[in-house]
Chain A
Amino acid sequence: MFQDKKRGAIRAVDHVSFICRPGQIYGLLGANGAGKTTTLRILATILEPTEGTAVVCGHDAVEQPEKVRANVGFLSTATALYPRLTAQEMVEYFGRLNGLDEGTLKKRVNDIFDRLDMNGFRDRRCDKLSTGMKQKTSIARTLVHDPPVMIFDEPTLGLDIMTARTIIAFIRECRDRGKTVIFSTHVMSEVEKLCDVIGIIQSGKLLDEGTLGGLRQKHGEQDLEEIFVKIVSPHYAQTETN
């Protein structure tokens, strides 16, 4: 809940509740302004909820925000890199902030740089990197402390197709490694490709939830876009009026 000068009190997220398990990708699907980013920021403890809470890896997001963040890797198009640090320094900085000792950090950084094929630009400053290199560095930054939970907030927004594919492949790899993945987007094809469970959100409310197959069956539609429109339309009109 927050105050807007023109619109007054706004309930950005209203009683949203869902469970995401290890080895599963939970897709949060919604239009712009639906409440996806606020939900994910609350889960990553970047924002504190006015009421309610979330539990991440057994830690309360309101009571133990630092412990929650230590178990979460958060990536969005808004999470940029420090321009005057090199790719390696950027990753090391977040490793240290996550409490890694120098020995573990060195090994972890070398492993990630090998795995993501980043050795060619590890000593290059972030402001000199291409978009693809920046995305790899961002991924390395989220992975360095090997968090069990990964949160992706519209991670492919504004990216070219090749960079977006790198991100999609990385999200899939996280699931394959047994991590709990929460992923927000408004791109239907990404949800169809990736998500094990889909939550449809609009006006801060979780309107429906289920597997792709379950939603198809429930709403009698094959096309996810049609299902989405069917669920969201009545609430969307209401949002526009507000």
Chain B
Amino acid sequence: MALRSIGIVYRKELKEALRDRRTLVTMLVVPLLIFPLLSVGFGAMVAVIIGKAQEEVPKIMIKGGADSPDVVEGLKKMDKIRIVPLADDWRDQIVNKQIPLVIEIPRGFEKSLANQEQLTVTLYDYSGELKSEIARGKIQKFFDDYRDRVVTNRLATKNLPASLVKPFDVKQQNVAPPEKSGGALFFGGFIAYIVVFLCLNGGMHPAIDLTAGEKERGTMETILSSPIPRANLVIGKFLLVLTTALTTAALSVISMGVSFTIANHLRTASAQAGDTGMNFHIGFGAALSVFIMAIPLAVLFAAVLITVATFAKTNKEAQSYIMPLMFLVIIPAVAAMLPGIDLTPKLALVPILNVSLLCKELVIGTYHWNYIAIIFTSTCVYAAFALFLAVKMFQRESVLFRS
């Protein structure tokens, strides 16, 4: 009987949710459209901007250098820059982003090299500005190479080996599998953040609509006059919120998988043209594991959202209560993305942060079974407690008929 009445409430709530534009937008459109647009579209846009900036031939001015013809000639011969005459307002031109860089070659530069004196070449740029940074990189490389040549020539003149100034090399060798190292760690944290955030976001509007919304529309008294026990009523509503939260989480994982596959495909094409970007990939097993770990988290979110929103009298009031809750969720999810934060027995008991850290590991294919057991169990306990609170809240007349 209880299952039947819960089922009746759930089916009715589902029917209404599927007719609600806002629920459909947060449940379907955000994960299926906004996310791919953000990840692939935004990524592609950034790649295009950077590519364009790299291909552009920067106009560079030289201050001084009249007595250093070799250096100036070398700079003029560079095929990826164009030397233009120095203008009086060169500082303003840099600030106004008309030119990216000015090179100041000190007086008597070449002569000082011959006399083995040390002078400083100054590069004037606009720090943080993309085109300026790219131009500085090119010129920096030119002068590094030039300096190496000077050193090599000086050593050769005195019959000394190159190892005199560079007695040993330091080489870095990554032993972690490529899919588990570097950007993949950040990628895992990012996936966890998106799943946690969208899980909460997916349940937020339905939770408000089914509780505070009912009070505001006057349907709360209507439903309370029916013979369904309040516990069954709140469980039916909770199941709907859980459905939307889990659907959003599942669609976001699928959407991310597809988006990154497309992004990798595009990157592979550009890699053939010389770009060696890192490939991000979520396997089916990892996606399924993330989704399974998202289930108790979604139960926790759904129950907390229902509890908080039931207390409010109106949609607006409920939103103002839920906003701080979003920060409480986002902060640990973002913390999990930070390098250096790893799962420990204590952190495995911190709600949200524990699932986020675990999902980060799951995405890169690391399965800590002891942590999985602790986190799944502890999140289930938190979720059960939150659901108990939601049922209790729905039985308090002072809350249901708050005025």
Asked, given contacts A69-B227, A70-B227, whether A141 binds B222 with beta carbons under 8 Å apart, the answer is: yes
Q: State the CA gap A141–B227 with chains docked (Å).
A: 13
Chain A 41-53 per-residue mask, 1 if CB under 8 angstroms from chain B, else 0: 0001011100000
| Interface magnitude class on chain A | 20 to 34
Q: State the CA gap A21–B5 with chains docked (Å).
A: 31
The 18 sampled A-B contact pairs (Cβ below 8 Å) are A44-B225, A46-B224, A46-B225, A48-B397, A69-B226, A69-B227, A70-B227, A74-B225, A79-B221, A80-B217, A80-B222, A81-B222, A84-B16, A85-B12, A85-B15, A93-B8, A96-B8, A97-B9
Q: Is B15's CB under 8 angstroms from A79's CB?
A: no
B137 at the interface (CB under 8 A from A): no
B284 at the interface (CB under 8 A from A): no
- CB proximity to A under 8 Å, residues B205-251: 217-219, 221-222, 224-229
Q: State the CA gap A227–B224 with chains docked (Å).
A: 35
A214 at the interface (CB under 8 A from B): no
Q: Is B221's CB under 8 angstroms from A93's CB?
A: no
Residues of the A chain whose Cβ atoms lie less than 8 Å from the Cβ of B9? 97
Asked, given contacts A47-B397, A47-B401, whether A89 binds B225 with beta carbons under 8 Å apart, the answer is: no
Say which residue of A67, A79, A80 sits within 8 Å of B227 (CB atoms): A67
Q: State the CA gap A84–B19 with chains docked (Å).
A: 7
- CB proximity to B under 8 Å, residues A1-39: 2-3
Q: Most A CB atoms within 10 A — which of B218, B221, B398?
A: B221
Residues of the B chain whose Cβ atoms lie less than 8 Å from the Cβ of A99? 227
Considering only CB atoms, which chain A residue lies closest to B223 in the complex? A97
A170 at the interface (CB under 8 A from B): no
Q: Is B16's CB under 8 angstroms from A85's CB?
A: yes
- CB proximity to B under 8 Å, residues A154-209: none
A146 at the interface (CB under 8 A from B): no
Q: State the CA gap A72–B224 with chains docked (Å).
A: 12
Q: How far is the CB of A123 from chain B (nearest CB, A)?
A: 13
Residues of the A chain whose Cβ atoms lie less than 8 Å from the Cβ of B397? 47-48
Q: How far is the CB of B368 from chain A (nearest CB, A)?
A: 45
Chain A 73-99 per-residue mask, 1 if CB under 8 angstroms from chain B, else 0: 010101111111100010001101111
Known: A69-B227, A74-B225. 16 other contacts (CB 8 A): A2-B398, A46-B224, A46-B225, A79-B218, A80-B217, A80-B218, A80-B222, A81-B219, A82-B12, A82-B16, A85-B12, A85-B16, A93-B12, A98-B226, A98-B227, A125-B19
A60 at the interface (CB under 8 A from B): no
Q: Is B8's CB under 8 angstroms from A78's CB?
A: no
Q: Is B20's CB under 8 angstroms from A66's CB?
A: no
Asked, given contacts A47-B397, A89-B15, A96-B8, whether A84 binds B225 with beta carbons under 8 Å apart, the answer is: no
Residues of the A chain whose Cβ atoms lie less than 8 Å from the Cβ of B20? 84
Q: State the CA gap A69–B227 with chains docked (Å).
A: 5
Using a CB–CB cutoff of 8 Å, the interface residues on chain A facing chain B are 2-3, 44, 46-48, 66-67, 69-70, 72, 74, 76, 78-85, 89, 93-94, 96-99, 125, 141
Q: Is B225's CB under 8 angstroms from A72's CB?
A: yes
Considering only CB atoms, which chain B residue lies closest to A69 in the complex? B227
Q: Most B CB atoms within 10 A — which of A85, A93, A141?
A: A93
Chain B 12-25 per-residue mask, 1 if CB under 8 angstroms from chain A, else 0: 10011001100000
Q: State the CA gap A89–B227 with chains docked (Å).
A: 18
Residues of the A chain whose Cβ atoms lie less than 8 Å from the Cβ of B219? 79-82
Q: Is B221's CB under 8 angstroms from A97's CB?
A: no
- CB proximity to A under 8 Å, residues B246-281: none
Q: State the CA gap A80–B223 with chains docked (Å).
A: 9
Q: How far is the CB of A217 from chain B (nearest CB, A)?
A: 37
Q: State the CA gap A140–B138 with chains docked (Å).
A: 80
Asked, given contacts A66-B229, A69-B226, A69-B227, whether A97 binds B16 with beta carbons under 8 Å apart, the answer is: no
Q: State the CA gap A48–B395 with chains docked (Å).
A: 10
Q: Is A69's CB under 8 angstroms from B221's CB?
A: no
Q: Is A97's CB under 8 angstroms from B227's CB?
A: yes
Q: Is B5's CB under 8 angstroms from A78's CB?
A: no
Residues of the B chain whose Cβ atoms lie less than 8 Å from the Cβ of A97? 5, 8-9, 226-228
Q: State the CA gap A84–B21 with chains docked (Å).
A: 11
Q: State the CA gap A170–B213 with chains docked (Å).
A: 30
Residues of the A chain whose Cβ atoms lie less than 8 Å from the Cβ of B8? 93, 96-97
Considering only CB atoms, which chain B residue lies closest to A82 in the complex? B219
Q: State the CA gap A96–B10 with chains docked (Å).
A: 12
Q: How far is the CB of B14 from chain A (nearest CB, A)?
A: 11
Residues of the B chain whose Cβ atoms lie less than 8 Å from the Cβ of A82? 12, 16, 219
Q: State the CA gap A58–B9 with chains docked (Å).
A: 28
Residues of the B chain whose Cβ atoms lie less than 8 Å from the Cβ of A48? 397
Q: Most A CB atoms within 10 A — which of B8, B12, B16, B401?
A: B12
Q: How far is the CB of A207 from chain B (nearest CB, A)?
A: 25
Q: State the CA gap A2–B400 with chains docked (Å).
A: 13
Residues of the B chain whose Cβ atoms lie less than 8 Å from the Cβ of A85? 12, 15-16
Q: How far is the CB of A32 from chain B (nearest CB, A)?
A: 13
Residues of the B chain whose Cβ atoms lie less than 8 Å from the Cβ of A125? 19
Considering only CB atoms, which chain A residue lies closest to B20 in the complex? A84
Considering only CB atoms, which chain A residue lies closest to B401 in the complex? A47
- CB proximity to A under 8 Å, residues B176-232: 217-219, 221-222, 224-229
Q: State the CA gap A99–B5 with chains docked (Å).
A: 8
Q: State the CA gap A154–B9 with chains docked (Å).
A: 28
Residues of the B chain whose Cβ atoms lie less than 8 Å from the Cβ of A69? 225-227
